Amino acid sequence: MIKLSQANVGAAEKEAVNRVIDNLYLGMGAEVRAFEAELNQFIDPEQVADALLYVATAHTGTSALQLAVQALGLKTGDEVLVPTITYVASFQAIAATGATPVAVDVAPLTACMNVEDAKKRLTPKTRALMYVHYASGYGDRKAIFQFAKEHGLRVIEDAAHSFGGLINGKRVGCDGDVTCFSFDGIKNITCGEGGAVVTRDVAVYNKVCDLRLLGVENDTEKRYKGQRSFDLEVSEQGWRYHLSNINAAIGRAQLARVESFIEKRQELFTLYSSLIDDRFAKPVALNITESVPHPYVVFLNDNGKSSDEMRELRNNLMDFLKEQGIETGLHYKPNHLLKYFAKEDAAPFPVAENLWEKMLTLPLHVNLSVDDVKKVSENFNNFFKDAD
Ligand SMILES: *Cc1c(COP(=O)(O)O)cnc(C)c1O
């Protein structure tokens, strides 16, 4: 079976875990501090003294997002605009703080937040937007930030798909408001499970540091040294969301190899895009010289077919590929269609619902070979040729 996604881990990660076990300190400590410093250096190698970047890890990407939303002071009654096509993690992270995720339609080629639609969903309660780097593309990022600025909204970037990518020559996370990454088992680098909040806003950073340790104030420095606060102070709801030394050590081994991961993912994306026949489908729009693709998403051409026909065609294609030993996926079912997040009075989401019928994710990960990508592409094209 050619897997949809897979971690690339081996000797270096085993050695890293052994190192932590030999040190007999498994929780949050020196490995976490080192991983945060190395992430910081990777994202912002320039390190300008009066505009420092801060990196706080968390135990998942979802918890990083939740901590970011809470650290911005958002709570019950506040609204956060978020594209409806994203992993449910984005929605749940907002909801976990008591704030309300307000689904926004997406742009047709990138499936990133549609700014024109976001404007229509603004209310006096809107405080922030969570902008998702869908399938590692950035959509119309300039327009999204301009819109946020005009309306005094904070911007949380869900960059779970885009670790290692560049934006105007700088790493994702270098130039934004608050950026969150995921290092779960299949992302561009993995900790096993892990995440991070990245910002130049020191108040947000300090708050995230407290909130991830049950709200215990100023405990992070002590943890790094293998100590903790006993005469402690807490002044708001916190969570046990910090990263462990074991997971951080895996992340460090991955970060040391990230350049080879980036190159491989970009190569496979480019190969797919040259092999998949554009009469049948188009890849999600992104600039492959800057983006580091996490999933490989294509949108099937509908050639005048109805919604029902498209859904049937896509599902048949998934079954066909599975029979050939190729795993595929759907990223993602629009969140406004989920019971928990559906709102009867919401304006329609025509673009997202159209993309939902014609999206398909093909295998993309560092363990794939050129021959694997050729096999997937040939079978993909043959499905349509045989249907003619
Ligand atoms: C993976 C992912 C997350 C959540 O990250 P976890 O580490 O799995 O909790 C959030 N948003 C998107 C778009 C993701 O793909």
Nearest ligand 1 atom to the CA of 93 is 10
Residue 287 has pLDDT above 70, yes or no: yes
Which residues contact residue 384 at a Cβ distance below 8 angstroms, ignoring those fewer than 6 apart?
Answer: 277, 279, 280
Residue 335 has pLDDT above 90, yes or no: yes
Q: Looking at residues 173-202, what average pLDDT do you find?
A: 98
Looking at residue 260, what is its pLDDT?
A: 98
Q: Looking at residues 195-202, what average pLDDT do you find?
A: 98
Residue 151 has pLDDT above 90, yes or no: yes
Tens of pLDDT along 207-254? Answer: 999 999 999 999 999 999 989 899 999 999 999 999 999 999 999 999
Q: What average pLDDT does the chain have?
A: 97
Distance CA 123, CA 79 (A): 8
Residue 317 has pLDDT above 90, yes or no: yes
Alpha helices of the chain — where are they, by DSSP H? 11-23, 30-43, 61-71, 88-96, 115-120, 141-150, 202-211, 220-224, 245-255, 258-275, 307-323, 350-358, 370-387
Looking at residue 291, what is its pLDDT?
A: 98
Q: Are 101 and 95 in contact (CB under 8 A)?
A: yes
Looking at residue 50, what is its pLDDT?
A: 87
Q: In what order do the strands lie in the sheet with 281-283?
A: 281-283, 296-300, 359-362
CA of 316 to the centre of ligand 1 (A): 28
Tens of pLDDT along 339-357? Answer: 999 999 999 999 999 999 9
Element (H, E) at 110: none
Q: Does residue 87's CB lie within 6 angstroms of at least one atom of ligand 1? A: yes
Q: Are 236 and 213 in contact (CB under 8 A)?
A: no
Residue 56 has pLDDT above 80, yes or no: yes
Task: Please give the backbone phi and psi of residue 357, each rounded to the nearest 5 degrees, phi first.
Answer: -80, -20
Nearest residue (by CA) to ligand 1, atom 10, is 89
CA 353 to chain centre: 21
Hunting for tokens 């897997």 — which residue is that?
3
Rg (CA), the chain: 21
Beta bridge partners of 362: 296
Query: Ligand 1 pocket test: which of 184, 247, 330, 333 has the largest number of ligand atoms within 8 Å of its C-beta?
Result: 184
Which residues contact residue 9 at a Cβ distance below 8 angstroms, ignoring those fewer than 6 apart?
Answer: 190, 250, 253, 254
- In this structure, the chain runs to a length of 388
Residue 150 has pLDDT above 70, yes or no: yes
User: What is the percent of the chain with per-residue pLDDT over 70, rounded to a whole number?
Assistant: 100
Q: Are 121 and 81 in contact (CB under 8 A)?
A: yes
Q: Does residue 92's CB lie within 6 angstroms of at least one atom of ligand 1? A: no
* 3 state DSSP class of 75: coil
Query: Ligand 1 pocket test: which of 5, 66, 87, 212 has the largest number of ligand atoms within 8 Å of its C-beta?
Result: 87
- Kindly compute the dihedral angle of the four CA atoms of residues 310, 315, 320, 326, in this order, to the nearest 10 degrees: 120
Residue 388 has pLDDT above 80, yes or no: no
* 3 state DSSP class of 195: strand
Structure tokens at 92: 């749940």
Which residues contact residue 268 at a Cβ distance below 8 angstroms, ignoring those fewer than 6 apart?
Answer: 293, 296, 364, 368, 370, 373
Distance CA 298, CA 106 (A): 15
Nearest to 85 by CA among 375, 379, 357: 357
Distance CA 64, CA 229 (A): 23
Q: Are 179 and 308 in contact (CB under 8 A)?
A: no
Identify the residue with better confidence: 107 or 386.
Answer: 107
Residue 49 has pLDDT above 90, yes or no: no
Nearest residue (by CA) to ligand 1, atom 7, is 61
Residue 168 has pLDDT above 70, yes or no: yes
Which residues contact residue 380 at a Cβ distance below 8 angstroms, ignoring those fewer than 6 apart?
Answer: 276, 280, 281, 317, 321, 362
